[in-house]
Structure 1
Amino acid sequence: MQANRITFFYVLLMTLVVVSSNILVQYPLSGTLFGISLGDLLTYGAFTYPVAFLVTDLTNRQFGPKIARRVVVAGFAVAVLFSFAVASPRIAIASGSAFLAGQLLDISVFNKLRRQTWWRAPLIASLIGSALDTLMFFSFAFAPFFSFFGPNDDFAIGSAPIFGVLAAEAPRWISWALGDFTVKVLVGIVMLLPYGALMSVLKPMPGVEKTA
Structure 2
Amino acid sequence: MNRTHIPGILAMAAIVVASNILVQFLFGQWLTWGAFTYPLAFLVTDVMNRVYGAGPARKVVIAGFIVGVICSLIGTQIMGEFGPLVTLRIAIGSGLAFLVAQLSDVAIFDRLRAGKWWRAPLASTLVGSSLDTAIFFTVAFSGALTFLEPANDVSWAAEALPLLGVGPIVPLWVSLGVADWLVKLALALVALVPFRMIVGAMTAKTT
1:149-188 correspondence runs (5 A): 149-150=148-149, 151-166=152-167, 168-188=168-188
1:30-45 correspondence runs (5 A): 30=28, 39=29, 41-45=30-34
1:9-158 correspondence runs (5 A): 9-30=7-28, 39=29, 41-86=30-75, 87-150=86-149, 151-158=152-159
Q: Distance in 1 between matches of 2:21 and 2:143?
A: 21
User: Post-superposition shift, 1:161?
Assistant: 1.2
Structure 2 residue runs of 5 or longer lacking an equivalent are: 76-85
* Identity across the alignment (%): 43
Which amino acid in the other structure matches residue 15 of structure 1? A
Q: Distance in 2 between matches of 1:83 and 1:6?
A: 28
Partner of 1:4: 2
| Higher RCO (C-alpha 8 Å, min separation 6) | 1
Q: Distance in 1 between matches of 2:124 and 2:132?
A: 12
| Secondary structure of 2:117 counterpart | coil
Contact 2:139–2:145, Cα closer than 8 Å, also in 1 = yes
User: Post-superposition shift, 1:116?
Assistant: 1.1
Q: Distance in 2 between matches of 1:176 and 1:170?
A: 11
Cα RMSD for the two superposed structures = 2.1
Q: Distance in 2 between matches of 1:8 and 1:110?
A: 21
TM-score (structure 1 length as normaliser): 0.83
Number of residues of Structure 1 aligned to a counterpart in Structure 2: 194
> Residues 186 and 63 (structure 1 numbering): CA distance in 2 closer, same or farther, change over 3 Å?
same
Structure 1 residue runs of 5 or longer lacking an equivalent are: 31-38, 207-212
